[in-house]
C-alpha cells in the first residue's frame, strides 16, 4: 500500500471515529436524558421523598421568581457559589413538579423595573463593601389566586435548611387555606379579667401571633372528640383533664394528629394564692401534667422536679434587697444548648424559661417494642440538676438555691420532639368500656392483648361493640413536641409591649415567640413537609489543603519563635558584655560585642531562609496535590469509565455468542 493510500485511510478513520463519537454523544443524551448519579456525601442534589410528594401534589401552577444580582456579585465568590446551589435546587424542584412550577431567574439591575418588582415583593437589597449597588438574593412565589410568599434573602449560614425553606414556600402556595389549630389551655391566653385590678387582661403576644398565621380554635378543657378539621392540638397547662378528654387527645394522636404540648412543674403564670401564705409573698405557681397519657405513651415527666442550672441561671430582680440575684430556676437557654439539626430551633437565639421540668423516655426495661424516639430540642448545661418543686415556693431570696444545689454533670432535656410508633394510653378502649377514674394510677401502662380485647367487646354480629374506631397503636409515626415549661409563653419572659400612638408595639428580647411559631408551623404542615429535614452544607472545605496549611503554619511559628528567642539571647548577651566592661560609659563596641552581633545577623539570615523554605514548601505541597487531583479527574476517572464500558461491552458480546 502506498504512502498516500495510508494517509487517506488514516484520515478516513479519524473522520469515522469523530462521527461515531458525535453519534454516541447524541444517542447517550437521548437514552440517558434526566439520568444522574448523586455522589455527594450528604446527597445534596437528591430531593427528599417528602419534597417530591409535595411537588407531585401541586394542582395549580405556581410561579417562582429567583432574584439574584449576578453582575453586582462578581467580587463575592462565596455568594455566587451559594446562588448556583440555590438555582440548581430550584431547577430540580421545577423538573419534579410535572410542569406546575414555573421558574424565572432575574438579575435586578439598579434602577430597573426588575429591581422595583423585587422591592414590591419585599425582597431585601443588601449592601456589600465590594460593590456600590445593592445585592438581591431572594425568592418570590405566587399562585393562581394571587397569594405571595417570599424568602427575602438566602442566608449562606442556613444552607442546611435550603430544601426545607423552598419546600415550605411551595407547600404554602399549593395549599393556601389557613390551618386549624385546636387550643386546649388551662390558662387564659386569649385575655380575660383580673379580679385584683378589676381590668381586662390583653391576650398573650404569642397567642396573637399564632392567630395571624392560623385559625386558632379554643376547644376548652372538656371535650369528647377533636373536630375533624383540626390538624394540630396546642395543649398548654393541662390540669386535671377528664379521662374522656384525655382519651380524645390520645385517639387524635393515634390517628396521625400532631400536638404541641406545654406542661410545667411550677407555672408562675398560673399562680394561685395558698391559704396561710405569709403576707407579701407571691402566689404559688401551679403544676400541670398529663400523667395518664405520658405514662401510656412512654414519656417520663415529673411535676415534682425542677431543672436548676448554675451556668444558664438568669439574674432577676426579686424586690428584696434592691439587687438582682441569680435564680437557678430562671434559665437563659443559649443556642449552643439547642438542636442545630431541627428547623424549630436551628435559627434561634436565647430562650428564657422559669422553673422548667425534665423530659425523657420512660424506662421500659430495655425493650424496644415501642420504637419511640426522643430528640432533644432544648437542654440545660452540664452544670445542672433536679431540685424539688416545693423548693421554689415562697422564695424571697433565690440565692439560697445555691446552698443545696448539686450538679448532675449531664444536660437535662427541657423540650423534645417525640417520634416513632406509639401505643395508645387506653389499651382497653375508651373509658366507658372498662377504664375507671383510677386508670391514671398505672392501668394505662399494662400491655393488653388486642385479641383478648376484641373477644371481650364483640357484639352479636362479631364486631366490637362501641369501640370499632378505637386505635390501640398509632397508624403512622407520631410527631409531638413536648415542652416542660409553660412560663416561657408568657409576655414577661420574652417580650416587652409598649404603646406607640395608640398602637401596641411588641419588642422581643428573647426567641420564645419564634420557637412557638416555628413549632406550630412545622407541626401544622403536611407530613411531607415535616419529612424534609436538614441537609448537609454545600460548601465543602479543602480538608487536605487546610491540613497542609495548618502544618506549615505550625512549623512557621516554631521557626519564628526560635528567631525571637535568638534575638532575646543576643540582647541578653550584649547586655552582659556591656555590664562587664570597665569603661561602661563608652559607646564603642568591643570585639566580643561586634562578634555577637555578627553571629546573630548570620543566624537571623539562616532562620529567615528556613521561613521562606517552609512557605515555599507549602506552596509546592498544594501544587503537587492539585496536580495529582487533575491527573485523577482528567486521566484516571475517564480511563476507569472506559475500562468499565469495554468490560460491559465484552461481557455482552460474550453472552450473545453463547
Over the Cα atoms of the chain, what is R_g?
35
Q: How far apart are CA 261 and CA 181, in angstroms?
A: 12
Give me the chain's average pLDDT, please.
79
Tell me which DSSP letter residue 96 carries: T
Q: How far apart are CA 163 and CA 86, in angstroms?
A: 9
Q: In a 3-state reduction of DSSP, which class is residue 344? A: coil
Q: How far apart are CA 371 and CA 382, in angstroms?
A: 27
First to last CA, the chain: 38
Q: How far apart are CA 189 and CA 52, in angstroms?
A: 38
- Answer whether residue 367 shows pLDDT above 50: no
Please give the pLDDT value at position 160: 76
- Answer whether residue 633 shows pLDDT above 50: yes
Please give the pLDDT value at position 464: 40
Alpha helices in 525-636 (DSSP H): 527-530, 543-579, 591-630
- Interval 443-462: pLDDT, tens: 443 443 433 333 444 444 43
- Interval 202-251: pLDDT, tens: 899 999 989 988 999 999 999 999 999 999 999 999 999 999 999 999 99
Please give the pLDDT value at position 50: 82
In the numeric block, the cell 502544618 is attached to 551
Q: What is the 3-state secondary structure (H, E, C) of 385-399?
A: EEEEHHHHCCCCCHH
Instruction: Give the pLDDT mean for 173-180.
Output: 88
Where b means 16+ CB within 10 Å and e means fewer, 592-601 reads ebeebeeebe
Please give the pLDDT value at position 228: 93
Instruction: Give the pLDDT mean for 378-385.
Output: 96
- Answer whether residue 5 shows pLDDT above 70: no
Instruction: Give the pLDDT mean for 258-279.
Output: 78
Confidence category of residue 30, pLDDT binned at 50, 70, 90: low
Q: Highest mean pLDDT: which of 180-194, 270-284, 361-375, 643-657?
A: 180-194
- Interval 507-532: pLDDT, tens: 889 999 989 998 998 998 876 776 67
- Interval 310-330: pLDDT, tens: 999 998 876 555 567 889 999
Please give the pLDDT value at position 266: 93
Confidence category of residue 195, pLDDT binned at 50, 70, 90: low
Asked whether 597 and 574 are in contact (CB, 8 A), the reply is: yes
Set of cell numbers at residue 28: 447517550
- Answer whether residue 125 shows pLDDT above 80: yes
Where b means 16+ CB within 10 Å and e means fewer, 340-360 reads eebbbbbbbebbbbbbbbbbe
- Of 262, 277, 418, 233, the C-alpha closest to 354 is 262
Give me the phi and psi of 328, to 5 degrees please. -70, -10
Residue with the bigger pLDDT between 369 and 373: it is 373
Q: How far apart are CA 536 and CA 590, in angstroms?
A: 68
- Of 238, 240, 241, 236, the C-alpha closest to 204 is 236
Asked whether 151 and 165 are in contact (CB, 8 A), the reply is: yes
Q: In a 3-state reduction of DSSP, which class is residue 458? A: strand
- Of 412, 378, 422, the C-alpha closest to 518 is 378
CA angle 616, 620, 621 (to 5 degrees): 115
The correct CATH number of 49-174 out of 3.40.50.2000, 3.40.30.10, 3.10.20.30, 3.40.50.720 is 3.40.30.10
Asked whether 193 and 201 are in contact (CB, 8 A), the reply is: yes
Amino acid at each position: 500500500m502506498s504512502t498516500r493510500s495510508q494517509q487517506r485511510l488514516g484520515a478516513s478513520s479519524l473522520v469515522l471515529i469523530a462521527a461515531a463519537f458525535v453519534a454516541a454523544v447524541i444517542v447517550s443524551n437521548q437514552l440517558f436524558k434526566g439520568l444522574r448519579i448523586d455522589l455527594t456525601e450528604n446527597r445534596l442534589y437528591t430531593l427528599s421523598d417528602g419534597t417530591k410528594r409535595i411537588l407531585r401534589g401541586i394542582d395549580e401552577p405556581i410561579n417562582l421568581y429567583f432574584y439574584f444580582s449576578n453582575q453586582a456579585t462578581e467580587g463575592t465568590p462565596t455568594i455566587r457559589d451559594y446562588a448556583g446551589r440555590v438555582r440548581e435546587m430550584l431547577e430540580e424542584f421545577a423538573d419534579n413538579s410535572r410542569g406546575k412550577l414555573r421558574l424565572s431567574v432575574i438579575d435586578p439591575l439598579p434602577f430597573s423595573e426588575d429591581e422595583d418588582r423585587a422591592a414590591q415583593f419585599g425582597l431585601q437589597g443588601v449592601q456589600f463593601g465590594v460593590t456600590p449597588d445593592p445585592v438581591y438574593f431572594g425568592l418570590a412565589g405566587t399562585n393562581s389566586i394571587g397569594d405571595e410568599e417570599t424568602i427575602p434573602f438566602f442566608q449562606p449560614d442556613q444552607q442546611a435548611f435550603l430544601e426545607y425553606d423552598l419546600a415550605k414556600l411551595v407547600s404554602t402556595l399549593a395549599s393556601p387555606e389557613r390551618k386549624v389549630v385546636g387550643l386546649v389551655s388551662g390558662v387564659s391566653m386569649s385575655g380575660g379579667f383580673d379580679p385584683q385590678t378589676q381590668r381586662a387582661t390583653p391576650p398573650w403576644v404569642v397567642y396573637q401571633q399564632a392567630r395571624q398565621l392560623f385559625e386558632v380554635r379554643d376547644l376548652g378543657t372538656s371535650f369528647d372528640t377533636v373536630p375533624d378539621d383540626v390538624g394540630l392540638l396546642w395543649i398548654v397547662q393541662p390540669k386535671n383533664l377528664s379521662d374522656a378528654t384525655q382519651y380524645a387527645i390520645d385517639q387524635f394522636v393515634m390517628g396521625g394528629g400532631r400536638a404541641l404540648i406545654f406542661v410545667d412543674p411550677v407555672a408562675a403564670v398560673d399562680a394561685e394564692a395558698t391559704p396561710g401564705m405569709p403576707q407579701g409573698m407571691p402566689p404559688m405557681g401551679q403544676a400541670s401534667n398529663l400523667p395518664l397519657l405520658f405514662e401510656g405513651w412512654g414519656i417520663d415527666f415529673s411535676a415534682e422536679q425542677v431543672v436548676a442550672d448554675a451556668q444558664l441561671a438568669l439574674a432577676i430582680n426579686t424586690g428584696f434587697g434592691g439587687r438582682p440575684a441569680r435564680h437557678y430556676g430562671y434559665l437563659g437557654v443559649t443556642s449552643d444548648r439547642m438542636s442545630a439539626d431541627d428547623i424549630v430551633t436551628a435559627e434561634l437565639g436565647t430562650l428564657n424559661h422559669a422553673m422548667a421540668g425534665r423530659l425523657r423516655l420512660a424506662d421500659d426495661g430495655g425493650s424496644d417494642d415501642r420504637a419511640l424516639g426522643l430528640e432533644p430540642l432544648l437542654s440545660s448545661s452540664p452544670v445542672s440538676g433536679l431540685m424539688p418543686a416545693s423548693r421554689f415556693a415562697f422564695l424571697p431570696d433565690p440565692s439560697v438555691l445555691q446552698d443545696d444545689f448539686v450538679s448532675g454533670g449531664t444536660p437535662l432535656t427541657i423540650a423534645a420532639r417525640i417520634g416513632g410508633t406509639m401505643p395508645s394510653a387506653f389499651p382497653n378502649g375508651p373509658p366507658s368500656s372498662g377504664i375507671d377514674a383510677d386508670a391514671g394510677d398505672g392501668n394505662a401502662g399494662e400491655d393488653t392483648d388486642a385479641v383478648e380485647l376484641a373477644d371481650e367487646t364483640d357484639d352479636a354480629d362479631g364486631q366490637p361493640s362501641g369501640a370499632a374506631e378505637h386505635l390501640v397503636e398509632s397508624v403512622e409515626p407520631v410527631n409531638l413536641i413536648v415542652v416542660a415549661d409553660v412560663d416561657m409563653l408568657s409576655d414577661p419572659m420574652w417580650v416587652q409591649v409598649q404603646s406607640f400612638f395608640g398602637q401596641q408595639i411588641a419588642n422581643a428580647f428573647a426567641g420564645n415567640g419564634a420557637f412557638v411559631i416555628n413549632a406550630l408551623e412545622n407541626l401544622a404542615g403536611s407530613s411531607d413537609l415535616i419529612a424534609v429535614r436538614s441537609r448537609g452544607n454545600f460548601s465543602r472545605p479543602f480538608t487536605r489543603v487546610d491540613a497542609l496549611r495548618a502544618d506549615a503554619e505550625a512549623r512557621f511559628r516554631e521557626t519564628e519563635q526560635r528567631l525571637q528567642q535568638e534575638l532575646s539571647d543576643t540582647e541578653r548577651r550584649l547586655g552582659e558584655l556591656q555590664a562587664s566592661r570597665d569603661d561602661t560609659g563608652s559607646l564603642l563596641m568591643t570585639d566580643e560585642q561586634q562578634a555577637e552581633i555578627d553571629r546573630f545577623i548570620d543566624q537571623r539570615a539562616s532562620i529567615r531562609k528556613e521561613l521562606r523554605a517552609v512557605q515555599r514548601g507549602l506552596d509546592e505541597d498544594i501544587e503537587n496535590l492539585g496536580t495529582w487531583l487533575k491527573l485523577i479527574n482528567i486521566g484516571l476517572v475517564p480511563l476507569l469509565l472506559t475500562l468499565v464500558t469495554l468490560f460491559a461491552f465484552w461481557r455482552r458480546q460474550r453472552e450473545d455468542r453463547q
